[in-house]
Every structure is written in C-alpha cells, then in structure tokens.
C-alpha cells in the first residue's frame, strides 16, 4: 500500500502500448481539489522534457491535481517533439481530471533518445482516469506501472496520529542523485503550507535518496514529487512532516538498493570523522563510485587498500594516519595501516549477504551513510545488452 492510503488520493496503472510486451506502462495519481505539490529534480544538464515541464508548472504555483508517469520511454533528448509530447500528457490529464494543465505534473522513464508514442500515452491517460481507485490493488498496479528494469514494485506507508504519508518509487540503475533520484511519488493528507511542504521534501530526500549510489550515473529524468491533500484536517509542522516523509523515503531507498540491477548484496558505507557531514558524504560517494571497491564487495574481499585509494582520489581533505576501516565490525585498518585480524574468518563472515563498511577519515564530527551494492558480472552483462 502506498499513495492512496493518505486521504484524498486515487491511483491507477494501465498498459498503453509503450512496452512491446504489453506490460503496465502508465501510472496516474489523482488528488482532490485544494491539493498542493512540491518536487525536487535531477541536476543533469540534459534534463528530459517532462522534468522541464514539471519544473515550470510548479514555478507557476503549488496547486496540483495529478501526477502522470509513463515507463518504457524517457522522452529525453527528443527535442521540441518531446516537449510537445509532455505538454500533451499534461493537457490530456487536465481535461480528464478537470483542472488546468499547470496543475498536472508529468514524468517519464525508460530509454533515452526514443520518441514518445504520444497518441498511445494520451489514450492511456484517459483509460487510467476511468480506473482510478483507492486501496492496495490500485497502489500496487500504479507502482508496477512506473517500473522499468525493476523486478518488484516499491511502496511504503507511515502514520503518526491523524497524518499519513505514502509513497511509491522506481529505479534499479542510473542511480547517483544530486537533488533527487529515480522517480518517486509521495502523498500525504496533512494540512501544510507550500513552503513547509517543499522544505520537508528537501530534508527527506537529502537524508534518504541522496544517500543511495548504485552505479555513479545520474539520470536525465530523476524526479521526486510530494502532494499534500489536507484531507485529514490535521495541521503539521515542518519537523514533524520531515520525519514522516524521511521515514517513507528511507524505506523506499532500501528497497531500491535491494533491487539494483545485477546486485547480489547491499553495502552500507558509514563514514565518520570528517570535517562536516558534506565532506563525509563526498568521501562515501567516492568509495561507492569506485568500480574496484565495488568489485571487491562482490568477491567478499575486505580490500581496504582500494577504499584508501578511492578516498585519496577524492576532493576530501584527510590525513592517511587518521584512516580506519572495518568490515562488519572487524577492524582491518587503523591509523592508516593494516590491523591484525583473522582474514579467513572475516572472509567467511562476509562471503554472502549484505555488508556494512565503516570508514573513519579523521577526528571531526561529520558523518554520512551511503547505500550502494556490489559490482557483479550480471550488472555488466545486463547493461552491455542493447536497450
């Protein structure tokens, strides 16, 4: 259950013919009048047409009545035809729902450079409006319709008193966000001001999706939307809303990591001792971006030297004499040099399953947690195939 658990929302998912196998490929979330929205988007300079349009719609005002997402085609690098297709998506949804086009947010995901079959998409939007409903089935169908290389839908719900936050997300590759990640639609029935909604979303994304780095590749389409219907009648402050939205986003982040393309294990990298949290995050991402480091994760090799090498190539200021590394709680390096440990026992301990890596880079108070995965032969085969 996800986006329709908060009061004031319905959802649907349909097959409109973008995906050749007839799989679900269009999702729609509809909100009651009075709903407001906020979003964060990719900082990729090749941002897709739907990102550009949705930015403009939110800049015009927070009123939001619908989010429409197609999968199977990113509608990125498609020129003016792609921009027109995104506008037509919004206009079709607006006519069907009964609102202005500026109150519709759009998103697309799939192959870059492929023209969007807009006639199929607009027909799908009309069909989806007719099928919109609330409940577990509607949530699951909508969450499935936004998937591309995902193997399972990602959903989450949290409640606190009279306020509920729900969300769905997709993403299994091209995951190294800056301001957002993959695609996610979040909903809440809280009564909240637009400024508070935007601040809560930015805080939540920074503490969750920003900490996920699967393959070092930022997408052209990354978008996270948060809609607030106010249907609960419960007014909520920024801190309380941030906590709820963050919890949902963290749940979704872990689901995304667990379903990453070709991955066999999720690796949690915790960096401590940095000058500040921002420096710790840079250090953690440098480690996660290293193909050598992630290959050693696949082999279950506690190769701390590769971690030191990745740190040294980053922009983070540190002294090698302050570096320490531990795998699943076993210290393998301290003071910048190897620490005595039972290598055979550690190998057996980390040979299978998820992995925790703790890295200390100084005596500061900055910390960060980065989620990544191992680099497997399956990932290379999958992404080496023609798309």
Give one DSSP letter per residue of 276-291, joined into a string.
SHHHHHHHHHHHHH-H
Q: What are φ and ψ of residue 225, in 5° steps?
A: -110, 140
SS3 of 290-337: the string is CHHHHHHHHHCCCCHHHHHHHHHCCCCCCCHHHCEEEECCEEEEECCE
Query: What's the full length of the chain, in residues?
Result: 387
Q: One of 148, 181, 196, 220 is an active-site residue; which one?
A: 181
Q: What are φ and ψ of residue 161, in 5° steps?
A: 65, -125
* CB neighbourhood size of 195 (10 A): 11
Q: End-to-end distance of the chain based on CA atoms, in angstroms? A: 31
Of 214, 165, 216, nearest to 192 by C-alpha is 165
Q: Which residue has the tokens 């997402």?
A: 69
| Beta strand extents in the chain (DSSP E only) | 9-14, 26-31, 36-41, 66-73, 104-111, 154-160, 163-170, 183-188, 223-228, 266-274, 324-327, 330-334, 337-338, 355-360, 366-373
181 is catalytic: yes
Q: What is the dihedral of CA 297, 300, 304, 308, to 10 degrees?
A: -10
Report the alpha-carbon angle 228-28-257, nearest 5: 80
Q: Which residues of 133-151 are buried (b: 16+ CB within 10 A; e: fewer)?
A: ebeeebbbbbbbbbbbbbe
Q: Which helix (H) or strand (E) holds 137?
A: helix 136-145
Instruction: Just list the catalytic residues.
Output: 181
């Amino acid at each position: 259950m996800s986006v329709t658990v908060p009061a004031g929302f319905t959802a649907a998912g349909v097959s409109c013919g973008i995906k050749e196998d007839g799989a679900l490929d269009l999702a729609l979330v509809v909100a009651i009048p009075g709903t407001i929205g906020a979003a964060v988007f990719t900082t990729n300079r090749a941002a897709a047409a739907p990102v550009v349009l949705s930015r403009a719609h939110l800049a015009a005002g927070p009123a939001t009545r619908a989010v429409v997402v197609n999968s199977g085609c990113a509608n990125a690098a498609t020129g003016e035809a792609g921009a027109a297709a995104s506008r037509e998506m919004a206009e079709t949804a607006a006519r069907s729902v009964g609102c202005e086009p500026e109150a519709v947010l759009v998103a697309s995901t799939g192959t870059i450079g492929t023209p969007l079959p807009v006639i199929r998409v607009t027909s799908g939007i009309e069909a989806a409006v007719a099928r919109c409903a609330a409940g577990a089935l509607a949530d699951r169908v909508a969450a499935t319709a936004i998937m591309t290389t995902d193997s399972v839908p990602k959903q989450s719900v949290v409640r606190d008193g009279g306020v509920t936050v729900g969300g769905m997300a997709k993403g299994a590759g091209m995951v190294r966000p800056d301001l957002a990640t993959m695609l996610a639609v979040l909903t809440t029935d809280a009564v909240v001001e637009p400024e508070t909604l935007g601040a809560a979303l930015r805080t939540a994304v920074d503490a969750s999706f920003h900490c996920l780095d699967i393959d070092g590749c930022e997408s052209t389409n990354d978008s996270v939307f948060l809609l607030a219907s106010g249907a609960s009648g419960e007014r909520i402050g920024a801190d309380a809303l941030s906590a709820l939205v963050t919890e949902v986003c963290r749940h979704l982040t872990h689901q995304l990591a667990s379903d990453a393309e070709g991955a066999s294990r999720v690796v949690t990298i915790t960096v401590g001792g940095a000058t500040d949290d921002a420096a710790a995050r840079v250090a953690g991402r440098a480690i996660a971006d290293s193909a050598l480091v992630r290959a050693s994760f696949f082999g279950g090799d506690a190769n701390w030297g590769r971690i030191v090498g990745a740190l040294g190539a980053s922009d983070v200021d540190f002294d090698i004499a302050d570096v320490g590394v531990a795998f699943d709680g076993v210290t393998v390096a301290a003071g910048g040099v190897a620490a005595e440990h039972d290598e055979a026992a550690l190998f057996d301990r980390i040979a299978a399953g998820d992995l925790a890596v703790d890295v200390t880079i100084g005596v500061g108070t900055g910390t960060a947690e980065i989620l990544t995965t191992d680099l497997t032969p399956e990932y290379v085969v999958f992404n080496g195939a023609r798309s």
